[in-house]
Amino acid sequence: MDRRLPAADRAPVSRTSRPGGGLTRRSALGLAAGALAAPALAASPGGADTLRGTGALGVVVERATGSLVIVDQIARAAIGRVTELGDLSHASVVYSPDQRFAYVFGRDGGLSKVDILTGAIAARVIQSGNAIGGAISDDGRLVAVSNYEPGGVRVFDAETLAPVADIPTGSKTIGLVDAPGRRFVFSLWDAGETWIADFASSAPAITRIEGMGKNPYDALITGDGRRYITGLFGEDGLTALDLWESPPAPRRILSGYGRGEEPLPVYKMPHLEGWALAGERFVLPAIGRHEVLWVDARSLEEVGRTATHGQPVFAVARPGGRQVWVNFAHPLNDTVQVIDSASGEVVHTLNPGPAVLHMEFTARGHEVWVSVRDAGRVDVYDTGTFEKRAEIAAESPSGIFFTARAHRMGL
Amino acid sequence: MDRRLPAADRAPVSRTSRPGGGLTRRSALGLAAGALAAPALAASPGGADTLRGTGALGVVVERATGSLVIVDQIARAAIGRVTELGDLSHASVVYSPDQRFAYVFGRDGGLSKVDILTGAIAARVIQSGNAIGGAISDDGRLVAVSNYEPGGVRVFDAETLAPVADIPTGSKTIGLVDAPGRRFVFSLWDAGETWIADFASSAPAITRIEGMGKNPYDALITGDGRRYITGLFGEDGLTALDLWESPPAPRRILSGYGRGEEPLPVYKMPHLEGWALAGERFVLPAIGRHEVLWVDARSLEEVGRTATHGQPVFAVARPGGRQVWVNFAHPLNDTVQVIDSASGEVVHTLNPGPAVLHMEFTARGHEVWVSVRDAGRVDVYDTGTFEKRAEIAAESPSGIFFTARAHRMGL
């Protein structure tokens, strides 16, 4: 794909530069809540004291520089930057219910609470050596982080980031999501188990579900918080739990869903985060094939496939589910395809540029933001006409996270 | 039910006092955007300049006094009041995408844009003599109002409330909702038609769908923006449209869903606004019976009924659909019941007090706010334990509208 990339489009970014490294060490020495200086907002219109609603804000992860760009969906513009957030490769973000604070989960175990109104880091802890993802409880009071090293899940007070609970699992822990009723659900890579940690009371009650399958590598929860589904690295198929059951019994589904043909690293597997619900079907990326799969949302059985440009990484439904937008793995990652949910046909192909890493829709789906990492840009498209509405500069942008996520489950 | 009501619980409110009347006349003379003085925020913590997120705010309609209480879900408290909004009986509210501005649709044709950060009325117009409900387009640029008198739909610029389009219908117009793609959908009481107004281009394109049935009195759109369903006053059953079809063909469903046994006024019919999606079924109030109906979400056929305490008015799913909360018509309107979605059984009965008019869940459903009009209170319940967490004073509270609605379709 690099052939198609004019040299002038390349952003002058060094992939090895990680200015957050120093911060990481300082924080590990005990500088936690409130101890860090607030970086100035670059290009903040009206200054940090501007009264504004937070419903149409968001952040874009700049993975190479350990920073975030704060964005405004209505202005289609960057309004600030927050730096010194550590290693943000594979970083993810959740929001407080008031949509003022972004909790940023770094790969280096850093957990940062960022005030997107002022650009300040309100609190920051290094809670492990190597983490993968986090979640916030439905009441917004608890933030949980899933750890590779030393494994387990750690839970923090969302206000202060003070530790609340430590749940050792004796395993790399993956697929952490929130579920209704102040619960977190996660899976154990080594043990093939899923655990439900229920924080309705002060001490968490743990439900252990065995027999999930060999080496769960990722998981998702459906948008209604009901079904938890794990991908398996060690065997074909997926395992589903119905969280409305008590206790839920594991059920194997999609036996034709092959395991990866390559050994680790796990991140080469397609992302399971949030299957797209499109009408009566989920759509999900096939593994190692140029296809997406359609799965009946009730039976969880495969009901069709659509051939795509490359190996899908994310298949994301436009809110309402009328269309599904798909991006692809290297080296076909300069392209995005749009699939009609009713017919299952590709109706449009876009070529945003080199290394399309993520797509995020506005809350009601009229526009979609696309990060084009190696062009140093986030592009905004009209989902009706497919016209590009804006380009926003960013350093090696990866994940895009809008504040509307605060109001959804399992993100 | 008044037997159960201690006199001391009655709020000292005159139902005929409408301080907004004077304002109404002034506005009709041409005082529109920005021309009105901002009422001071009563009991605003930190003052009107307080920097705060808007994701967990909301408003409560005080119908007797033509005012709104601005509330904070996290503090479980009122943080301000906005007065002089005219006749707010049957008022409804939608939000700008940034969740800063509430658009308030009054019964007297008043359309007010309220800044919930400052408590100011940012703009106000009297756009007709008698209106019923409104909607905001998915891009947040257009606000539409459905009118009884003189009928039709009027569309306004969401920024300024300047008129954008006037769509005469020759009929009382009801059931106005937004749909994906900058569209509004509404129905004609007199003509038995549904119209789709598509504002993707500057001039609206109108699609007229005839044969919807006799005297549609209300309508809803499902949460995915796909199915539009009208209630019929003049015949049994409902009519459904699949907006994924082009053009959609009307389909009669639920032939056992009886028309009202009483003539007008229409507002005695149960509210169709937003059927609750609970797992694989919708739940909706029966007409004139002490029952809710369960309807298969795919076939739209009735699949069961649950006996309830009274005639249901609203059946609202807790986000995620695990439970459904139901309130009831006079004289049994002091009670709320909670139905388990899986079993269809009533699992809890609450007695909040006289005249429970509305229920609104926090975005991820951990709490629910209940307006108890004749007690002059809004109560906050934990949805897990059913314990009351807070009481908030309000003058004859009716509708409760949280800002998370900005991010949902068809509200």
DSSP letter, residue B28: H
pLDDT class of A48 with cuts at 50, 70, 90: low
Report the residue of chain B nearest A221, measured CA to CA: B320
Tell me the HSE value of B337 on the side-chain side, using a 13 A CA sphere. 24
Q: What pLDDT score was predicted for residue B409?
A: 87
Does residue B319 belong to the interface with chain A, where contact is any CB pair within 8 Å?
A: yes
Mean pLDDT of the A194-217 span: 94
Q: What pLDDT score was predicted for residue B196?
A: 98
Please give the radius of gyration of chain A, using alpha carbons only, rounded to the nearest integer: 20
In chain A, residues 141-170 whose CB comes closer than 8 Å to chain B: none
Q: What pLDDT score was predicted for residue A53?
A: 97
Does residue B21 belong to the interface with chain A, where contact is any CB pair within 8 Å?
A: no
CA nearest B272: which of B316, B329, B241, B320? B316
Residues of A in contact with B406 (CB under 8 A): 55, 363
Tell me the HSE value of B148 on the side-chain side, using a 13 A CA sphere. 15
Residues of B in contact with A244 (CB under 8 A): 279, 322, 342
pLDDT class of A348 with cuts at 50, 70, 90: very high
Minimal CA separation from A364 to chain B, in Å: 6
Contact B51, B131 (CB under 8 A): no
Beta carbons of A180 and B318 less than 8 Å apart = yes
Beta partners for residue B383, in sequence order? none
User: For residue A109, is pLDDT > 70?
Assistant: yes
Minimal CA separation from B366 to chain A, in Å: 6
Tell me the HSE value of B106 on the side-chain side, using a 13 A CA sphere. 31
Beta carbons of A53 and B101 less than 8 Å apart = yes
Burial of A198 (0-12, 13-18, 19+ CB in 10 A): middle
Please report the beta strands in B138-237, taking only residues with DSSP state E, as ranges in sequence order: 142-149, 153-157, 163-167, 173-179, 183-188, 193-198, 205-209, 216-221, 227-232
Report the residue of chain A nearest B200, measured CA to CA: A384
pLDDT class of A258 with cuts at 50, 70, 90: low
Report the residue of chain A nearest B383, measured CA to CA: A181
Taking the C-alpha atoms of residue B75 and residue A171, their distance in angstroms, rounded to an integer, is: 38
Query: For the ranges A40-49, A144-153, A377-386, B348-357, which has the lowest average pLDDT?
Result: A40-49
pLDDT tens digits, residue range A307-346?
999 999 999 999 999 999 999 999 999 999 999 999 999 9
Contact B400, B60 (CB under 8 A): yes
Report the residue of chain A nearest B99, measured CA to CA: A55
Across chain B, which has 411 residues, the per-10-residue mean pLDDT values are 28 29 27 31 52 97 96 98 94 97 95 97 90 93 92 96 96 94 96 97 93 92 91 88 96 77 44 73 87 92 95 92 94 97 96 97 97 98 98 97 93 67
Does residue B181 belong to the interface with chain A, where contact is any CB pair within 8 Å?
A: yes
Taking the C-alpha atoms of residue B96 and residue A56, their distance in angstroms, rounded to an integer, is: 9
Q: Which of A54, A94, A402 to mutate to test the interface with B (most CBs of B within 10 A)?
A: A54
Contact A41, A81 (CB under 8 A): yes
Q: Which residues are CB-neighbours of B25 under 8 A, at least 6 positions away?
A: none
As a whole number, the mean pLDDT across chain A is 85
Taking the C-alpha atoms of residue A20 and residue A87, their distance in angstroms, rounded to an integer, is: 7
Residue/partner pairs of A11-17 with CB below 8 Å, 24 or more apart: A11/A374, A11/A375, A11/A376, A11/A377, A11/A393, A11/A395, A11/A396, A12/A376, A13/A64, A13/A65, A13/A376, A13/A395, A13/A396, A14/A64, A15/A64, A15/A396, A17/A64, A17/A65
pLDDT class of A158 with cuts at 50, 70, 90: very high
Q: Which of A72, A118, A138 to mutate to test the interface with B (most CBs of B within 10 A)?
A: A138
Does residue B35 belong to the interface with chain A, where contact is any CB pair within 8 Å?
A: no
Residues of A in contact with B38 (CB under 8 A): none
Q: Which of A76, A298, A364, A385 to mutate to test the interface with B (most CBs of B within 10 A)?
A: A364
Minimal CA separation from B229 to chain A, in Å: 16
Minimal CA separation from A181 to chain B, in Å: 7
Question: b/e for A89-104, b at 16 or more Cβ within 10 A?
Answer: bbbbbbbbbbbbbbbb
Q: What pLDDT score was predicted for residue B270?
A: 56
Q: What pLDDT score was predicted for residue B255?
A: 85
pTM summary value: 0.88
pLDDT class of A35 with cuts at 50, 70, 90: very low
Q: What would the two tokens of residue B309 be? A: 């305490």
Q: What pLDDT score was predicted for residue A10?
A: 29
Q: What pLDDT score was predicted for residue B259?
A: 52
Q: Which residues are CB-neighbours of A46 under 8 A, at least 6 positions away?
A: A52
User: For residue A368, is pLDDT > 60?
Assistant: yes
User: For residue A292, is pLDDT > 80?
Assistant: yes
User: For residue A390, is pLDDT > 60?
Assistant: yes
Which among B57, B180, B342 has the least Cβ separation from residue A244? B342
Taking the C-alpha atoms of residue B325 and residue B316, their distance in angstroms, rounded to an integer, is: 5
Taking the C-alpha atoms of residue A1 and residue B298, their distance in angstroms, rounded to an integer, is: 43
Tell me the HSE value of B367 on the side-chain side, using a 13 A CA sphere. 23
Does residue A59 belong to the interface with chain B, where contact is any CB pair within 8 Å?
A: no
Beta carbons of B366 and A404 less than 8 Å apart = no
In chain B, residues 122-141 whose CB comes closer than 8 Å to chain A: 138-140
CA end-to-end distance (rounded Å), chain B: 31
Helix (H) or strand (E) holding B24: helix B20-28
Q: What pLDDT score was predicted for residue B279?
A: 83
Which among B53, B318, B384 has the least Cβ separation from residue A200? B384
- Sort strands B205-209 and B193-198 into parallel, antiparallel or unpaired: antiparallel
Q: What pLDDT score was predicted for residue A130?
A: 82
Beta carbons of B54 and A95 less than 8 Å apart = no
Q: What pLDDT score was predicted for residue A256?
A: 73
pLDDT tens digits, residue range A8-19?
232 322 222 333
- Sort strands A291-296 and B251-253 into parallel, antiparallel or unpaired: unpaired
Query: For the ranges A25-34, A57-66, A148-157, B209-218, which has the lowest average pLDDT?
Result: A25-34
Does A234 or A116 have the greater pLDDT score? A116
Which among B55, B118, B180 has the least Cβ separation from residue A97? B55
Q: What pLDDT score was predicted for residue A296?
A: 93
Q: Which residues are CB-neighbours of B147 under 8 A, at least 6 positions away?
A: B109, B127, B128, B129, B130, B131, B132, B153, B154, B172, B173
Contact A51, A87 (CB under 8 A): no
Residues of A in contact with B401 (CB under 8 A): none
Q: What pLDDT score was predicted for residue B365?
A: 97
Q: Which residues are CB-neighbours of B382 under 8 A, at least 6 positions away?
A: B366, B367, B388, B389
Q: What pLDDT score was predicted for residue B271?
A: 59
For chains A and B, count residue pairs whose Cβ atoms are closer than 8 Å: 169
Which among A99, A280, A321 has the least Cβ separation from residue B298? A280
| ipTM score assigned to the predicted complex | 0.87
Residues of A in contact with B101 (CB under 8 A): 53
**3-state secondary structure (DSSP) of residue B53:** coil
User: For residue A393, is pLDDT > 50?
Assistant: yes
Q: Which of B245, B407, B408, B411 to mutate to test the interface with A (most CBs of A within 10 A)?
A: B407
Does A287 or B10 have the greater pLDDT score? A287
Q: What pLDDT score was predicted for residue B7?
A: 29
CB atoms closer than 10 angstroms to residue A35: 12
**3-state secondary structure (DSSP) of residue A293:** strand
Q: What pLDDT score was predicted for residue A381?
A: 98
Report the residue of chain A nearest B407, measured CA to CA: A363
Beta carbons of A53 and B117 less than 8 Å apart = yes
User: For residue A270, is pLDDT > 70?
Assistant: no
Helix (H) or strand (E) holding B25: helix B20-28
Q: What pLDDT score was predicted for residue B43?
A: 40
User: For residue A51, is pLDDT > 70?
Assistant: yes
Minimal CA separation from A7 to chain B, in Å: 35
Q: Is the dihedral of CA B318, B321, B325, B326 positive or negative?
A: positive
Does residue B38 belong to the interface with chain A, where contact is any CB pair within 8 Å?
A: no
Opening angle at CA A99, ends A98 and A102, nearest 5: 125
Does A46 or B379 have the greater pLDDT score? B379
Report the residue of chain A nearest B319, measured CA to CA: A224
Q: Which residues are CB-neighbours of B64 under 8 A, at least 6 positions away?
A: B13, B14, B15, B17, B395, B396
CB atoms closer than 10 angstroms to residue A387: 9
Contact A141, A96 (CB under 8 A): no
CB atoms closer than 10 angstroms to residue A21: 14
Strand order in the sheet with A216-221: A216-221, A227-232, A238-242, A251-253
Beta carbons of A53 and B181 less than 8 Å apart = no
